[in-house]
Structure 1
């Protein structure tokens, strides 16, 4: 049950179950299912019906929305997405998260920070979650192209949406949902002024995409290139902590 307290002492009650399907995807899955049944039962065209039936199952799987056990640790910055870490770089934050937007609430500093880029394939869960608890200060949508989300230039050229969250102690974390070759729509669940708990759902990107996270100044990555991360569960950094990590691919 959502909200249950689970810990590393074995306390809690966990049972395996099929993950629910997010409402945003149910209509697409049901449409594909109805069309497949029409070809299978109505027209007896199995050569078309069976592939469409498999497609409907794939759509339902794409929009699955599993529960996550979110670490309750104020220093932790959580992964906002499921996927693979494909880039870790020192960069300047996006202009839209830095400039004065007229709200009277400051954005990120223009100083160089660590950016962790997470690529989501069509097989990953595409529900995105907030890396920290706090208040949503900005949600900025930017139209753009649909180049390969794995390219570095996608951060500046592709259709994207920036989100800035600020904790009660003033710590700010910005992250960006980026559309890709297949992804064609970013769906937000939050707006400026919303108060979020760590790991709370903030939106989704329909079909293969990428999410960039801009860690606070002085914070290094706790994940490695090539590592698989889980939204709302994997700690990708700890506020103010920077250490050298090494990994071996095997």
Structure 2
């Protein structure tokens, strides 16, 4: 897969990665031109990686928090977890599955296993709970969302804090270079309410993961 045109909008942190690459490319071009060309390509990929396109929901329901493929669909007690694995080629800006008030934001974990494997449950992550607006979920209460670092990703940048309000599909964070984002559905949701299957491709803020009829 090759990068497309450079994006109009970039996620925060793009300059921290791209500017050093551009500076290194300029210096290398004077000494070892092929190396300068490779560094310039790396800078272009970095800009493309930090792209942040606008999104519109495809319909009512709980939205995907990330671009990628559904890699987790399992029961945890009386709740269902739906996880989306992001490859390095996916948009890495994460979005709120529902609108409402952010109850709390917690940072935990220290491992950096591949985000698509079972051991990633111990990975570094930022978790937040959203008390959903009734218009988003039909009257259920709290949704969980987790931004999970992968083996290569070392930086999770949350955009929200406890007490803030988020809109459905609004931007809530960014994870650098390959990772996973999960939604923990309330107990009132069951398997029949889930609208995706494992391996299915979804898009943050657009694709519907679950919906109660």
Q: TM-score, normalised by structure 2?
A: 0.88
Asked if 1:86 is matched to 2:76, the reply is no
Distance 2:48 2:123 in 1: 25
Distance 2:6 2:28 in 1: 31
Distance 1:17 1:143 in 2: 34
Asked if 1:57 is matched to 2:44, the reply is yes
| Among 224, 227, 230, the residue aligned to 2:200 | 227
Residue in 2 that maps onto 1:183: 153
Distance 2:38 2:157 in 1: 28
What runs of 5+ residues in structure 1 fail to find an aligned partner?
1-15, 93-111, 242-250
Residues 7 and 52 in structure 2, CA contact (< 8 A), matched pair in contact too: no
Residue in 2 that maps onto 1:130: 96
In the TM superposition, what whole-angstrom CA distance separates every residue of 1:138-193 from its partner, at most 9, and x where no partner exists? 101003110111112312x1101111101244521101111111100111110011
Distance 1:22 1:205 in 2: 10
What runs of 5+ residues in structure 2 fail to find an aligned partner?
135-139
Q: Which runs of 4+ in 1 moved over 3 A?
A: 16-19
**Greater relative CO, 1 or 2 (CA 8 Å, sep 6+):** 2
Equivalent residue of 2:10, what SS? coil
Deviation, structure 1 residue 72:
6.5
| Among 11, 21, 24, the residue aligned to 1:22 | 11
| Among 156, 162, 165, the residue aligned to 1:195 | 165
More strand by share: 2
Q: TM-score, normalised by structure 1?
A: 0.76
Residue in 1 that maps onto 2:128: 163
Report 1:107-118 matches (<5 A): 112-118=78-84
RMSD between superposed Cα atoms in Å? 1.8
Equivalent residue of 2:13, what SS? helix
Residue in 1 that maps onto 2:106: 140
Report 1:67-86 matches (<5 A): 67-71=54-58, 73=60, 76-86=61-71
Which structure has the larger Rg?
A: 1
Q: 1:235 to 1:138 in 2, by over 3 A?
A: same
